[in-house]
């Protein structure tokens, strides 16, 4: 049976929302024919051009020389409570990221006779008294948990080393992916602080060569934006770094595609569900549509 171009287009369009067997039933075509059309189109295999664009540069160990740890911070009287001030200072020592100093700080903390929980309570009371309102006491949460602080600082230093290894002196230069987003949205006017989602979708869909073909493509690109953000954050001394608006618009567009592209396999569906579970986007409006896409 000779198929028309319209039939092929119908199969491809339906496959974006339905399973293979459902497409065969809707179109009245044999399942083997449906599979052949989809396979030959290449539209439901991972997009190699997208993968190449949205991939971090490889690490080069020869670059991974971290900046020297800052000088030991001076001890200061902050609260007037010697034990609390000592703990505040030890936290500053840990935040230098120097492994030797971190170990010394942990050993020094063990020599404080008062329990760390008690010090955290006292610090909270000092914060409330200093600020004049009870909400200030929230600033004491985790104050005495030095292990958590150490873990966070070690992770930050590892990311800093990775950022240097991957980008060297070009960490803050626009990547090809960021340039692509800037060019794609250059003539789109922002509304307040955001780009209109409909116009964002139109611009990116007009460039099919860099559209995701699969849920795995989406997860790959979302990981790229996440990793780029946190590698830069690790090296950001000001604490002000955020994605470009154009990059964020692309990131949210790709997140929305998780609700549009049908999972090819159970494993792909499970990978998408795992991403949704651990991301900070479970409460977003798209999340319900993504779940519907995975279970339907």
pLDDT at 61: 79
CA dihedral 204, 209, 210, 213 (to 10 degrees): 100
Residues facing residue 191 across a β-bridge: 194
Tokens of 13: 């369009």
CA 18, CA 261: separation in Å to the nearest integer?
9
Per-residue pLDDT, 116: 86
**194, β-bridge pairs:** 191
137, 127 Cβ separation under 8 angstroms: yes
* pLDDT at residue 153 in the model: 92
- Structure-token match 């608006």, residue found: 245
Each residue of 205-215: pLDDT tens digit?
999 999 999 99
Structure confidence at residue 277 (pLDDT): 92
Q: What is the pLDDT of residue 1?
A: 64
- Please state the pTM of the whole predicted model: 0.78
User: What local confidence, expressed as pLDDT, does residue 248 receive?
Assistant: 95
Quote the pLDDT of residue 216. Answer: 96
- Digit-by-digit pLDDT tens for the chain (296 residues) are 688 888 888 988 888 778 788 889 999 999 999 888 888 887 778 999 999 999 999 998 777 777 777 788 899 999 999 999 999 999 999 988 888 899 999 999 999 889 988 999 999 999 999 999 999 999 999 999 999 999 999 999 899 999 999 999 999 999 999 999 999 999 999 988 889 999 999 999 999 999 999 999 999 999 999 999 999 999 997 878 888 999 999 999 999 999 988 888 889 999 999 999 999 898 898 999 999 999 87
């Amino acid at each position: 049976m000779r198929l028309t171009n319209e039939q092929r287009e119908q199969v491809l369009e339906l496959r974006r929302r339905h399973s293979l067997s459902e497409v065969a039933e809707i179109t009245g075509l044999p399942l083997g024919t449906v599979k052949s059309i989809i396979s030959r189109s290449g539209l439901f295999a991972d997009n190699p051009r997208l993968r190449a664009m949205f991939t971090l540069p490889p690490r080069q160990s020869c670059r991974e020389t971290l900046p020297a740890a800052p000088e030991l911070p001076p001890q200061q009287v902050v609260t007037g409570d010697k034990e609390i001030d000592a703990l505040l200072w030890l936290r500053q020592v840990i935040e230098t990221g120097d492994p030797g100093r971190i170990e010394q700080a942990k050993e020094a903390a063990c020599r404080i006779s008062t329990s760390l929980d008690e010090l955290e309570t006292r610090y909270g009371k000092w914060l409330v008294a200093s600020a004049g309102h009870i909400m200030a006491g929230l600033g004491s949460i985790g104050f005495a948990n030095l292990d958590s602080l150490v873990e966070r600082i070690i992770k930050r230093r590892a990311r800093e080393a990775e950022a240097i290894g991957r980008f060297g002196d070009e960490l803050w230069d626009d990547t090809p992916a960021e340039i692509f987003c800037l060019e794609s949205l250059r003539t789109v006017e922002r509304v307040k602080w955001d780009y209109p989602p409909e116009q964002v979708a139109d611009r990116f869909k007009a460039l099919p060569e860099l559209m995701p073909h699969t849920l795995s493509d989406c997860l790959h690109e979302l990981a790229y934006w996440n990793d780029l953000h946190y590698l830069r954050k690790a090296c950001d001394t000001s604490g002000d770094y955020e994605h470009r608006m154009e990059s964020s618009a692309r990131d949210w567009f790709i997140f929305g595609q998780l609700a549009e592209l049908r999972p090819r396999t159970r494993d792909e569906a499970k990978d998408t569900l795992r991403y949704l579970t651990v991301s900070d986007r479970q409460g977003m409006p798209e999340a319900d549509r993504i779940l519907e896409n995975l279970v339907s």
